[in-house]
Amino acid sequence: MQARVVVFPVKGRAWCFASPRATAPAAACGGGDGGALLPPPPPTVKDLWRGIAGGGRTASENAEAVVDFVADKMNRAWIGFGSAPEGSMKNRIHSFGLKLLSRVRPSEVLLKSVTKDVSLLEIVHPASINPRLVRRRLRHIAVRGASVHRKFLYGSVCLLPVTSVFMVLPLPNIPFFWVLFRAYSHWRALQGSERLQLLVSDSSDQWKILLEKQKEMSSRKDGNPCENTQYAPWNLQPSKKLDGFLESRKLNEGLDCDTISRICQAYDLDKIDVLKYRDLE
pLDDT of residue 269: 92
pLDDT of residue 30: 45
Give the structural domain span for 169: 2-22+106-279
**Residue 266 maps to a domain:** yes
pLDDT along the chain (281 residues), means of 10: 90 90 50 49 71 72 73 75 78 81 88 88 92 92 94 94 84 84 92 90 64 58 50 84 82 85 92 89 55
Total tally of structural domains belonging to the chain = 1
Q: Give the C-alpha separation, 202 to 198, whole Å.
A: 9
Count of beta carbons in the 10 Å neighbourhood of residue 13? 8
Q: Indicate the pTM of the whole model.
A: 0.78
Element (H or E) spanning 100, and its range?
Answer: helix 89-101
pLDDT of residue 40: 65
**Residue 82 maps to a domain:** no
**Residue 73 maps to a domain:** no
pLDDT digits 0-9 by tens, 97-109? 888 888 889 999 9
**Residue 162 maps to a domain:** yes
**Residue 76 maps to a domain:** no
